[in-house]
């Protein structure tokens, strides 16, 4: 479907930014850089317990630029703010709460956001993680309008990026940050003038992602080596990591390489080792593991692994 113009003679004077984390902070700074007068309020959460938190940077930016900031404790507070302050447009980046449906109805020129996939593929939670787990060769970023469905709103712009067979989640996060910033630079002026283009999402090739929790990172050693490799690199730093056990000790596997030569042995057994890596048998062939840390430690303990030990799928 062809792009269509949003509206005529639109001037958006009051923009709210809603978000958190590094990407959110980067986009918020760019909105201010493009049009400082229109950024009327910053809305975030206190997520200082998360190691990826940028809460103090949001507070500092708001104070330095003399922009009102609200730190929400529950989703319903956003509805109240929107009703009282009446923004023309809301930009949402790095927000982990579902936007209340009444907010969508109260903002005249809508809510726009970024999603780390080529919508309508990988709608929902953790799209980059799922794309790597599934062995995708490409993904992208979508700038789009939020709607009452799950990431179903009209598309403003999309950018594609490749996923290498050894790409880790951190490298993809860095690439998507750059693409996201490029899209904001290219489109934001048109958005606040009402001159941006938008198109309805395709109804084909639609897919959805469920939420992921730290406990979902348990490695299944009966799976084939390429799948386990994807599973490991999808959940490496800055995420909690894919994990396994030896007896009751929990280990996080953070770096892997697919071994193409056949290896025969029980699933999870350490079939070979040296000071820099171990070879672990699995459902098909094996994996070379070069970085392992024990729970509650930052040390790489790969050199301490014992030949013949066996990783388990449970304690």
All structural domains of the chain:
4-208 (3.40.50.170), 214-304 (3.10.25.10)
Cβ(32)–Cβ(42) below 8 Å: no
User: Which token pair is 8?
Assistant: 């005529």
Structure tokens at 23: 């990407």
The pTM of this model reads 0.91
Per-residue DSSP letter, 79 = H
Q: Count Cα neighbours of 282 within 13 Å in the Cβ-side half-sphere.
A: 27
Tens-binned pLDDT, residue by residue, of the chain (315 aa): 344 455 555 678 899 999 999 999 999 999 999 999 999 999 999 998 888 889 999 999 999 999 999 999 988 899 999 999 999 999 999 998 889 888 999 999 999 999 999 999 999 999 999 999 999 999 999 999 999 989 999 999 999 999 999 999 999 999 999 999 999 999 999 999 989 999 999 999 999 999 999 999 999 999 999 999 999 999 999 898 999 999 989 999 999 999 999 999 999 999 999 999 999 999 999 999 999 999 999 999 999 999 999 999 876
The span from the CA of 307 to the CA of 221, in Å, is: 17
Nearest to 255 by CA among 277, 233, 234: 233
Give the residue from 88, 90, 109, 79 showing the smallest Cα distance to 19.
Answer: 90
- What strands, in cross-sheet order, belong to the sheet with 242-246? 242-246, 249-259, 286-294, 278-281, 270-273
CB 112 within 8 A of CB 145: yes
């Amino acid at each position: 479907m062809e792009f269509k113009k949003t509206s005529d003679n639109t001037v958006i004077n009051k923009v709210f930014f809603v978000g958190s984390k590094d990407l959110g902070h980067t986009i918020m700074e760019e909105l201010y850089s493009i049009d400082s007068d229109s950024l009327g309020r910053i809305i975030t959460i206190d997520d200082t317990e998360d190691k990826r938190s940028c809460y103090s940077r949001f507070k500092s930016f708001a104070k330095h630029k003399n922009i009102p900031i609200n730190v929400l404790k529950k989703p319903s507070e956003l509805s109240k703010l929107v009703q009282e302050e009446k923004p023309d447009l809301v930009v949402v980046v790095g927000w982990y709460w579902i936007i209340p449906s009444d907010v969508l109805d109260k903002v005249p020129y809508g809510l726009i956001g970024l999603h780390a996939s080529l919508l309508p593929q990988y709608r929902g939670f953790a799209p980059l993680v799922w794309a790597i787990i599934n062995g995708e060769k490409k993904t992208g970023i979508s700038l789009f309008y939020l709607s009452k469905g799950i990431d179903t709103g009209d598309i403003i712009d999309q950018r594609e990026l490749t996923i290498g067979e050894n790409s880790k989640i951190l490298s993809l996060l860095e690439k998507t940050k750059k693409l996201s910033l490029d899209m904001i630079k290219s489109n934001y002026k048109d958005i606040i003038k009402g001159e941006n283009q938008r198109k309805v999402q395709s109804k084909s090739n639609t897919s959805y992602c469920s939420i992921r929790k730290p406990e979902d990172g348990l490695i299944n050693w009966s799976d084939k080596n390429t799948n386990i490799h994807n599973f490991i690199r999808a959940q490496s730093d800055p995420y909690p990591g894919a994990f396994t056990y030896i007896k009751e000790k929990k280990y996080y596997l953070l770096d892997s390489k697919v071994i193409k030569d056949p290896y025969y042995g029980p699933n999870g057994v350490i079939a070979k080792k040296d000071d820099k890596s171990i070879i672990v048998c699995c459902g098909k062939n094996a994996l070379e593991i070069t970085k392992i840390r024990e729970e509650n430690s930052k040390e790489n303990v790969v050199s301490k692994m014992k030949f013949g030990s066996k990783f388990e799928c449970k304690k």
